[in-house]
Amino acid sequence: MSVNQSAPPVPPFGQNQPVYPGYHPASYGGQPGPAVPASPYGAYNGPVPGYQQTPPQGVPRAPPSSGAPPASMQAPCGQTTYGQFGQGDIQNGPSSTAQMQRLQGSQQFGPPLAPVVSQPAVLQPYGPPPTSTQVTAQLAGMQISGAVSHAPPSSVLGYGPPTSLASASGSFPNSGPYGSYPQSQAPPLSQAQGHPGVQPPLRSAPPLASSFTSPASGGPRMPSMTGPLPPGQGFGSLPVSQPNHVSSTPSHALPPGTQMTGPPGTQMTGPPVPPPSMHSPQQAGYQLQQNGSFGPARGPQPNYESPYPGAPTFGSQPGPPQPLPPKRLDPDAIPSPQLNELPPQQRARHRIDPDAIPSPIQVIEDDRNNRGSEPFVTGVRGQVPPLVTTNFLVKDQGNASPRYIRCTSYNIPCTSDMAKQAQVPLAAVIKPLARLPPEEASPYVVDHGEAGPLRCNRCKAYMCPLMTFIEGGRRFQCSFCSCVNDVPPQYFQHLDHTGKRVDAYDRPELSLGSYEFLATVDYCKNNKFPSPPAFIFMIDVSYNAIRTGLVRLLCEELKSLLDYLPREGGAEESAIRVGFVTYNKVLHFYNVKSSLAQPQMMVVSDVADMFVPLLDGFLVNVRESRAVITSLLDKIPEMFADTRETETVFAPVIQAGMEALKAAECAGKLFLFHTSLPIAEAPGKLKNRDDRKLINTDKEKTLFQPQTGTYQTLAKDCVAQGCCVDLFLFPNQYVDVATLSVVPQLTGGSVYKYACFQVENDQERFLSDLRRDVQKVVGFDAVMRVRTSTGIRAVDFFGAFYMSNTTDVELAGLDEDKTVAVEFKHDDRLSEESGALLQCALLYTSCAGQRRLRIHNLALNCCTQLADLYRNCETDTLINYMAKFAYRGVVNSPVKTVRDTLITQCAQILACYRKNCASPSSAGQLILPECMKLLPVYLNCVLKSDVLQPGAEVTTDDRAYVRQLVSSMDVAETNVFFYPRLLPLTKSPIDSTSEPPAVRASEERLSSGDIYLLENGLNLFVWVGASVQQGVVQSLFNVSSFSQITSGLSVLPVLDNPLSRKVRGLIDSLRAQRMRYMKLIVVKQEDKLEMLFKHFLVEDKSLSGGASYVDFLCHMHKEIRQLLS
Ligand SMILES: [Zn+2]
């Protein structure tokens, strides 16, 4: 076999890499796969089928470019934030109630799970505790220490290691944080009273912007505290174990005597309503705290001055202006009734130092620094990959790249009892057709000839590096079901002394985690090889579509875009045929046969019984019919220029497209461009049933349910035909996205929404999304199956697809952006030796009509100690899964129930860790596993997201839209979507080419002298501080002062200076990284539009009632303590 890859150790497979659009052939040779037990035997060897070159799909071409949007735009259309959203995919499949419920069954909505009670009180039953971040919270207040318990890793705590915060006495009212949960009631368990043993309410009270002074407080800090602030708060991270907190040795740490004084005005963000009981336990709490050990000092934090030169800031506490009397009691120590009588400011005085709680920015930075330089080699089972925010290369040595599969944990419990105890969802987020960076090879295509891919006879798993060859190579044992299978003569090969086949590295299926097989006719519908797919463009030509200029813009764009349809391999032209339909209340089909001089229109007005009036000439080859197509696209805007028709139909349009594909006996995709609620008399007719009064009621779920079953039925027919539907919506008002997106959702399609579309404001975004959507790699008529080794089983699926049984994920279409999340449950005991294996097989038709199987394999470790589970978790994936789970749940359960379920589950996960894995420590400490220290902050972002806790400006359509969008997001997308990136633009040197370091998404991180950029994958803002230097304003906006900057601007002027080039370059680069085009909105400090922007400062309390990060952390701590008590 020839090799055309340059790579390493192993000889490459004799085939060229498939070229995917935009990719260079990758360079990588096969790498050694997992070792296979040996057993030397003689053999006969059959001919080894060569691997066939995979025809790539599509060709790399630059997208056509069309005119750029005008440079000055006004504020976004009334719809606010989501106006900017690009596309979406629908959430978990079918919203069919039946399915939803089935799915739901696996998790607990409804009554919160029972607390983990069964744990023995003994801490640390298992080996050395995994690294953990400890957060000590006194009562409601808390202090946090990032501590590393024995073991760990270099674990740099995200926020610096040990921090000791002094806290003030503040009262964190129990209810405080929760005040923020609007309708939520206080968690039942959370009464402070109930937990006498609990610690004192310490809180650090970093005032906004105040600097810390560090007075001296010695070991026993308590006494020295000034009113509000307790001295040595437990913020330090205890590197060692919790016991340190209790011990009297203030070892590491803050300079002795560090004392925090709180500025009088320190405020708490939460509603200051301290529960009485919270305060009483204080004393005890203090004791602990005083002796608390402070971990290593954290690095200086932005915005806080360091008290001592070189000294870490944390230890310091904000000092009150006046000298404090020694020994003054903390106000919190006062009996609760009195406390409650205190003015709110005093009660609210204590505030946790935001710098002392786990920082997403720090965790991301640390991972980049620690793991960004080395390639991630997949040869070892159960390795946790670098974070999605880290740039790294992947070398496939037998397990699928994390670009294809990411798991919530790479080490799963051996038994279901352990899994239930931990409550950590065991799930994989799979992106089967993920686009790889140019440096990484696309999967090889293996051709086993007429025999087809070699599979296990019993479980049907495909040949992979996990299979074990025995008896000299004459048989292989399936690693999934243990069945011993004969090796067919033509596939026989000798084994080497280690038991590995000598040709292992020549065969992708024996050495790589991901590869493809050419499918035989047995894998085709009706035992017939498929025809190439078709694209049908279906354009709304009603009054609204014409008036906004959409139709003209679209037709103009299609003339050039049709040259860029996906192509396979080195094909000169795309095999995809195209067809055109326009519609309002009736449908117009066009005959664009190449032999015609002019296109012909055929009108179908009987929308109740849709049929396709022509076959010949409807689906054509673009090159052959070029002239006729161009003529048609020129004529469409003219033909309907004077239309007065405002009503549209919708279901009949999809029906027509699907019937056309059926008649042509091919799969394909419909691109629908639609503007309004389909109220014309026809199947699938809808009425406006939007009702915001339903929000926060038990009927809120109906807003997410389709208003008619017509679309589910239609979707099912589409799936059977391999008809995928991509929907581009241009609504001026409510269009019932929840119902219109049913078909795209169930067919693996996408939904894009451009509210209040105006050509001058939105064309760049729309055209950019359209080009990407039309050109991207897509497979059709697909079925995905996830097999697992004995002991676990895939039980639940999330994403845009249809399921007619419990195991096969059916996708009329599947593109490179779509992910399917899969949850696993135990059905037997797993063993540490064999681990747990996953094999995802996707059968699909390529864009050239080739039938293929893409296989991804992944081996995970199994553990008998919970600590191993917690040490190998990936929070980003966990959040991706939990968000999808919650978003699906809102169709069947009240939103509040869904939120409570998430909170309960998170508390159980963390309580289980605390109980079983962390070193013993006082109850007042919040201890987070190192790998999950961001779980609370990220979960809070999910809880306060627009689907689960909408603000007044969020429309019902926005919520339905985001809901379906998130259902197909990959881990990187959900990461930035829920926790946006906030980049200071003017702080780093102007000539620096790297992206500026991000800051935390909180208003207090913004300085009015700077300009920031914020993005979440769908939205993009430039925020301008009110006191930015005039020169900067001039360089960026070409106006002389802040007041002259146009608020709501959506394009930065193109100016020839370093700052302007740098910022515009950064915006371009961010847009290039995202699936959808992010429209820019310039927001000025203190301007009205700033509210839009603030919505994305997710660490702050939100207008809709979402808790701040600090408040939520306190709440979570309380929940955990309830579970542990
Ligand atoms: Zn098997």
Task: Show the beta-strand stretches assigned E in 415-510.
Answer: 427-430, 445-446, 468-470, 475-477, 484-486
Could you tell me if 1065 and 1040 are in contact, meaning their C-beta atoms sit under 8 angstroms apart? Answer: no
CA of 798 to the centre of ligand 1 (A): 25
CA of 487 to the centre of ligand 1 (A): 13
CA of 79 to the centre of ligand 1 (A): 53
Which distant-in-sequence residues (6+ apart) come within 8 Å of 1038 by Cβ?
A: 1053, 1055
Per residue in 1069-1123, pLDDT tens?
999 999 999 999 999 999 999 999 999 999 999 988 999 999 999 999 999 999 9
Q: Which two tokens stand for residue 180?
A: 């923020």
CA of 497 to the centre of ligand 1 (A): 25
CA of 343 to the centre of ligand 1 (A): 69
**Burial class (CB within 10 angstroms; exposed 0-12, middle 13-18, buried 19+) of 78:** exposed
CA of 454 to the centre of ligand 1 (A): 11
Interatomic CA distance for residues 442 and 447, integer angstroms: 16
CA of 874 to the centre of ligand 1 (A): 29
CA of 516 to the centre of ligand 1 (A): 19
Which distant-in-sequence residues (6+ apart) come within 8 Å of 393 by Cβ?
A: 375, 376, 437, 439, 440
Cβ–Cβ contacts within 10 Å for residue 299, how many?
15
CA of 107 to the centre of ligand 1 (A): 29
Interatomic CA distance for residues 943 and 287, integer angstroms: 35
pTM: predicted TM-score of the whole model, two decimal places: 0.74
Interatomic CA distance for residues 456 and 879, integer angstroms: 35
CA of 1079 to the centre of ligand 1 (A): 49
CA of 469 to the centre of ligand 1 (A): 13
CA of 837 to the centre of ligand 1 (A): 11
CA of 475 to the centre of ligand 1 (A): 13
Q: Residue 550 in 3-state DSSP?
A: helix
Would strands 792-798 and 600-604 be described as parallel, antiparallel, or unpaired? Answer: unpaired
710-721 and 651-663 helices, crossing angle to 10°: 20
Q: Which two tokens stand for residue 506?
A: 């020549």
CA of 720 to the centre of ligand 1 (A): 28
CA of 484 to the centre of ligand 1 (A): 8
CA of 405 to the centre of ligand 1 (A): 21
pLDDT at 789: 96
CA of 479 to the centre of ligand 1 (A): 6
Please report which residue ranges of 416-491 form alpha helices under DSSP H.
Answer: 416-422
Interatomic CA distance for residues 910 and 887, integer angstroms: 22
Interatomic CA distance for residues 223 and 524, integer angstroms: 79
Q: Which two tokens stand for residue 282?
A: 């204080």
Interatomic CA distance for residues 221 and 227, integer angstroms: 12
517: which strand partners? 446, 853
Interatomic CA distance for residues 357 and 159, integer angstroms: 6
CA of 803 to the centre of ligand 1 (A): 23
Low-confidence ranges of the chain (pLDDT < 50): 1-131, 135-349
CA of 480 to the centre of ligand 1 (A): 5
Query: Nearest-CA neighbor of 905 among 406, 195, 421, 179?
Result: 421
Residue type, 790: T
CA of 867 to the centre of ligand 1 (A): 31
CA of 836 to the centre of ligand 1 (A): 14
Task: Show the beta-strand stretches assigned E in 827-890.
Answer: 836-845, 851-863
What backbone phi and psi angles, to 5 degrees, belong to 447?
-115, 110
CA of 483 to the centre of ligand 1 (A): 5
pLDDT at 919: 84
CA of 787 to the centre of ligand 1 (A): 9
Could you tell me if 1119 and 189 are in contact, meaning their C-beta atoms sit under 8 angstroms apart? Answer: yes
Kindly state the greatest CA–CA separation across the chain: 97
Could you tell me if 140 and 269 are in contact, meaning their C-beta atoms sit under 8 angstroms apart? Answer: no
- Residue that the structure tokens 């229109």 belong to: 601
CA of 743 to the centre of ligand 1 (A): 35
What backbone phi and psi angles, to 5 degrees, belong to 811?
-130, 110
Interatomic CA distance for residues 187 and 184, integer angstroms: 8
Could you tell me if 284 and 228 are in contact, meaning their C-beta atoms sit under 8 angstroms apart? Answer: no
CA of 788 to the centre of ligand 1 (A): 9
What backbone phi and psi angles, to 5 degrees, belong to 486?
-75, 145
CA of 449 to the centre of ligand 1 (A): 22
Q: Which two tokens stand for residue 883?
A: 């968000």
CA of 403 to the centre of ligand 1 (A): 26
- Cα-based distances in Å from 1088 to 196, 1042, 1085, 1093, 1094: 47, 15, 9, 10, 11
Interatomic CA distance for residues 289 and 232, integer angstroms: 6
CA of 647 to the centre of ligand 1 (A): 56
CA of 92 to the centre of ligand 1 (A): 29
CA of 32 to the centre of ligand 1 (A): 23
Could you tell me if 245 and 292 are in contact, meaning their C-beta atoms sit under 8 angstroms apart? Answer: yes
CA of 466 to the centre of ligand 1 (A): 11
Could you tell me if 470 and 880 are in contact, meaning their C-beta atoms sit under 8 angstroms apart? Answer: no
CA of 477 to the centre of ligand 1 (A): 8
Interatomic CA distance for residues 796 and 103, integer angstroms: 6
CA of 857 to the centre of ligand 1 (A): 14
CA of 869 to the centre of ligand 1 (A): 27
Q: Residue 203 in 3-state DSSP?
A: strand
Q: What does the chain come to in residues?
A: 1125
Could you tell me if 173 and 271 are in contact, meaning their C-beta atoms sit under 8 angstroms apart? Answer: yes
Which distant-in-sequence residues (6+ apart) come within 8 Å of 1051 by Cβ?
A: 69, 70, 71, 72, 73, 1080
Would strands 405-407 and 427-430 be described as parallel, antiparallel, or unpaired? Answer: antiparallel
- 294 Cα distance to chain centroid: 35
CA of 10 to the centre of ligand 1 (A): 28
CA of 549 to the centre of ligand 1 (A): 57
**Sheet strand arrangement including 1011-1015:** 981-984, 1011-1015, 1019-1024, 1079-1084
CA of 451 to the centre of ligand 1 (A): 18
CA of 796 to the centre of ligand 1 (A): 21
CA of 455 to the centre of ligand 1 (A): 8
Which distant-in-sequence residues (6+ apart) come within 8 Å of 745 by Cβ?
A: 89, 90, 91, 93, 94, 95, 715, 751, 800, 964, 967
Element (H, E) at 708: none
CA of 821 to the centre of ligand 1 (A): 23
pLDDT at 1057: 94
Could you tell me if 654 and 725 are in contact, meaning their C-beta atoms sit under 8 angstroms apart? Answer: yes
CA of 458 to the centre of ligand 1 (A): 5
CA of 467 to the centre of ligand 1 (A): 9
Interatomic CA distance for residues 231 and 829, integer angstroms: 50
CA of 457 to the centre of ligand 1 (A): 6
Interatomic CA distance for residues 198 and 195, integer angstroms: 5
CA of 73 to the centre of ligand 1 (A): 60
List % helix, strand, coil for the chain (3-state, nearest 5).
30, 15, 55
CA of 485 to the centre of ligand 1 (A): 9
What backbone phi and psi angles, to 5 degrees, belong to 602?
-125, 125
CA of 834 to the centre of ligand 1 (A): 14
- Cα-based distances in Å from 422 to 860, 882, 1063: 17, 15, 45
User: For residues 1038-1056, b (16+ Cβ closer than 10 Å) or e, as one string?
Assistant: eeeebeebeebbbbbeebe
Would strands 668-674 and 723-729 be described as parallel, antiparallel, or unpaired? Answer: parallel
Query: Angle at Cα 433 formed by Cα 427 and Cα 438, nearest 5°?
Result: 115
Q: Which two tokens stand for residue 97?
A: 């109630």
- Residue that the structure tokens 């944080």 belong to: 177
CA of 472 to the centre of ligand 1 (A): 19
CA of 462 to the centre of ligand 1 (A): 8
Q: Which two tokens stand for residue 701?
A: 């779920």
CA of 478 to the centre of ligand 1 (A): 5
pLDDT at 134: 52
Cβ–Cβ contacts within 10 Å for residue 644, how many?
8
Could you tell me if 205 and 306 are in contact, meaning their C-beta atoms sit under 8 angstroms apart? Answer: no
- Residue that the structure tokens 């499918």 belong to: 519
CA of 854 to the centre of ligand 1 (A): 18
Query: Angle at Cα 107 formed by Cα 104 and Cα 110, nearest 5°?
Result: 85
Could you tell me if 867 and 907 are in contact, meaning their C-beta atoms sit under 8 angstroms apart? Answer: no
- Cα-based distances in Å from 833 to 382, 414, 479, 891, 1076: 12, 10, 12, 41, 43
Could you tell me if 197 and 1121 are in contact, meaning their C-beta atoms sit under 8 angstroms apart? Answer: no
Interatomic CA distance for residues 603 and 640, integer angstroms: 14
Interatomic CA distance for residues 682 and 780, integer angstroms: 29
CA of 522 to the centre of ligand 1 (A): 20
CA of 511 to the centre of ligand 1 (A): 18
CA of 180 to the centre of ligand 1 (A): 52
Residue type, 907: A
Interatomic CA distance for residues 135 and 142, integer angstroms: 7
Per residue in 1054-1071, pLDDT tens?
999 999 999 999 999 999
CA of 792 to the centre of ligand 1 (A): 14
